[in-house]
Amino acid sequence: MAVSELIARLRVRLDPFELNTDITLPAKGVSVIFGPSGSGKTTLLRAIAGLQPCDGEIWFNGNYWQGNGRHRKTAERPLSYVFQEASLFPHMTVAENLDFAERYTLRPGNASKRDDLIELFDIADLMSRRPDRLSGGERQRAAIARALLRQPDILLMDEPLASLDDARKHEILPYLERLKNEFELPIIYVTHSAYEAARLGDYIVALDKGTVVSQGELYDVISDPKFPGDISREAGTVVTGIVDSVDAQWHLAQIRTGSSALITVPANNLNPGDAVRLWIRASDISLSHEPLKENSISNSLPCQIEDIRHDPNPALMIVKLRAEKIELITRITRQSASHLGLEPQMHIYAHIKTAALI
């Protein structure tokens, strides 16, 4: 039985930059390649696709793509690639772009999923338009649908939201969540945004300066305060929960998580019973010995301090907290930690800004 994973043990030399990786990605869900600009994320993705020459080995589900005396060209690897800029053929309509993908499907004997993809990405009204008549978000939705029409075994996505403004990013993200939930297709997703990683990812590889600094399940890695440089500023905690109730007057939802205390978030079309994923940035948590009263911060969770560490920034400390079944981390100044007299095992209140939750 073939092993369901992608392994990439690679070395890429682009003087003066060098990328060295030894990663194992599960062949299911969304694996995020995460890191600051210049960390090697796109270089790694291009090497996996066969678009960037490299030394080393790549194999997917037990089949060598590179190594062991073999080298499969990009066209011979059962993948599709979505670029930062939607790469639709400019002289073709959306329908003609989809026709092209169907002609070069990787699975000629399989039934086409064209109608399902048109519905999934809501592009039925765009079929007769050429790319120059589409918004950035519409182009990217059509480009993703075209990539999927090839029926790949794995989808590679290189910062597909990077060229979009915030409004278009929020427009596209729900479609990517539906893709993840409705198609059993492994995805490798490159981003420098912890927001996107937290919202979409299942597994994560963190890169910095061409080196893997951490890899593992999203919940473990994105909460790791030991990330260097720019990545550390994105540290936070992913929390899952169920919508308990919705306050229609104030457009707020109460989320039941692993803590007995409910967490308040903007309702954003949520309904009772909906499963949600929240991302709480370390920089958006403050601490006090008492719950806050008559304050604009809606969420105060009783916690216990599990660990206190030094931050790469000498002015800051990292505090790891537990609120029943929820683990949180916060970054506060050393001065504040001293004034509060923080110590491991101490009971404390964590105050979370509602606006910081997704």
Interval 142-162 mean pLDDT:
95
Does position 286 have pLDDT exceeding 60, yes or no?
yes
Domain 237-356 has CATH 2.40.50.100: yes
User: Residue 356: pLDDT above 70?
Assistant: no
Of 128-132, 151-155, 162-166, the poorest mean pLDDT is in 162-166
Write out the residue limits of the CATH 3.40.50.300 domain(s) in the chain.
5-228
Contact predicate 299/252, CB 8 Å: no
**Residue predicted with more confidence, 67 or 258:** 67
Q: How confident is the model at residue 319 (pLDDT cuts 50, 70, 90)?
A: very high
Q: What pLDDT was estimated at residue 123?
A: 96
Note the pLDDT of residue 78. 95
pLDDT score recorded for residue 221: 78
Residue 344 has pLDDT above 70, yes or no: yes
Q: For the segment 16-75, what is each residue's pLDDT rounded down to a tens digit? A: 999 999 999 998 999 999 988 999 999 999 999 999 999 999 999 989 999 988 899 999
Domain covering 5-228 in this structure, CATH number: 3.40.50.300
pLDDT at 228: 44
Task: Judge whether residue 2 has pLDDT over 50.
Answer: no
Q: Picking from 1-10, 24-33, 182-191, 294-303, which range would have the lowest pLDDT averaged per residue?
A: 1-10
pTM here is 0.79
pLDDT tens digit string along 189-240? 999 988 888 888 899 999 999 999 989 987 677 666 555 444 455 667 878 8
Bridge pairing between strands 154-158 and 79-82: parallel
Mean pLDDT of 243-267: 89
Name the segment(s) of the chain with CATH classification 2.40.50.100.
237-356
Residue 226: its pLDDT value, please? 56
